Amino acid sequence: MLIRIRQLTKTYTMGTEKVHALRGVDLDIAKNEFVAIMGASGSGKSTLMNILGCLDQPTSGTYDLNDKSVHKMSAGSLSQVRNEEIGFVFQSFELLGRATALRNVELPLIYSRKRFWGSTKRAKEALHKVGLGERMTHKPSQLSGGQKQRVAIARALVNGPSILLADEPTGALDSKTSEDIMALFQQLHKDGQTVIIVTHEEDIAGYAKRIVRLKDGRILSDNPTDTDPIHQDFLKRSLESAQRAAGVPDSSNSAQRNRDQEEEEKTLGAEGKPLNGLLKIPAAVPIVAAGAMTALLAPNQPVPTPLSPDLCVSVLNSNQQLPTPPGGLA
């Protein structure tokens, strides 16, 4: 097991007051998992991430990372483990403003024992991996929010960490850029990277394969995304509201749907009307992320063709035009 946590607690002391941020957490995370940690503000997500990332030590309990007992380590050993095993991505990017993208990515190599002649080459490779090969000499002020976060991800990856940890990585990004960044995490996971993210957004959590929910410093639930009841309910509600906004009959009302279908067939013939390739999605429609959509489809199930309006609505951004689905429109 890559991560093995047992009865982990963290108590902060503020004068005479004690804050119990974590109250006995058990958690196993295997290599190459993609986990989202969710929970209300103050539930202990960042506290847990900081301990996972060896930025902080627990008050009690055990944390084994790659069979090393991290909870017993001194600050010096802890920082060495952090440097070798952990890549951190933060909401606020945390880049050095005066340094180029390349220099920012090189920094962990310069500080680590892994420093060697090839550090610039490795930093360049990491920037290529996140799609920023053309922006290496730009400084953070010359990059968009999404590009800054890509630099931060390249910096987190450059040491070849066992775990990529991201605390609200899309918190400062607009929804389209957030989807791009999540697609990048998804790709890294497909390439074998273990990824753990903290997020408040259900659609962002939908990119992960497993959702761990915290409440008041304890694990409330821990489920595969495909079967997590809260997430599945979110997907259902998002689809329904997208369908309503697009004028598609409510699928939960099958009697009404059948009547509507009969009416439509009377006027259009049994074949129905091909989906209009220029359907515009109203801006107010909540969009289910493409990653979340795949959770609705059984594994290995091909995307239905022709694309149904509700599916299109849910995977497209507002104002985008429908693409021609594989196999063409009906």
Nearer to Mg ion (CB atom), residue 101 or residue 198: 198
Handedness of CA 282, 283, 287, 290 (dihedral sign): positive
Nearest CB to ligand ATP, comparing residues 199 and 243: 199
Distance, in Å, from the CA atom of 151 to the CA atom of 131, rounded to the nearest integer, reads 9
199, interface contact from Mg ion, ligand ATP, none, CB < 5-8 Å by kind: none
How is residue 222 written in tokens? 């821990």
Candidates 42-50, 105-113, 129-137, 259-267: pick the segment binding Mg ion (CB under 5 A): 42-50
Return the number of the residue (46 or 104) whose C-beta is nearest ligand ATP.
46
The amino acid at residue 110 is I
Q: If 0-12 CB within 10 Å is exposed, 13-18 middle and 19+ buried, where does residue 155 land?
A: buried
Q: Which H or E run includes 12?
A: strand 3-14
Choose between 45 and 82: whose C-beta lies nearer to ligand ATP. Answer: 45
Closer to Mg ion at the Cβ: 46 or 294?
A: 46
- Identify whether the C-beta of residue 185 lies closer than 8 Å to the C-beta of residue 36: no
- Options 32, 33, 42, 220; binder of ligand ATP; rule CB under 6 A: 42
In this chain, which stretch among 14-22, 27-35, 98-106, 283-291 interacts with ligand ATP, using CB under 6 A?
14-22
d(CA 126, CA 153): 9
- When binding is defined by CB under 6 A, the residue of 1, 12, 283, 327 that contacts ligand ATP is 12
SS3 316: coil
Among 21, 29, 46, 104, binds Mg ion (CB under 5 A): 46
How many residues at the interface with Mg ion, by CB under 5 A? 1
- 41: DSSP letter: T
Residue 178 in contact with Mg ion, rule: CB under 5 A = no
Per CB under 6 A, 158 contacts ligand ATP: no
Site for Mg ion contains 159 (CB under 5 A): no
- Rounded Cα distance, 163 and 194, in Å: 5
What is the C-alpha to C-alpha distance for residues 298 and 320, in angstroms, rounded to an integer? 26
What is the smallest separation between the CB atom of 257 and ligand ATP, expressed in angstroms? 40
Site for ligand ATP in 16-35 (CB under 6 A): 19, 21
Give the interface segment with ligand ATP, choosing from 45-53, 57-65, 228-236, 270-278 (CB under 6 A).
45-53
- CB distance 2 to 163 below 8 Å: yes
DSSP state of 170: T
Q: How many residues bind ligand ATP (CB under 6 A)?
A: 12
Binding site for Mg ion (CB under 5 A): 46
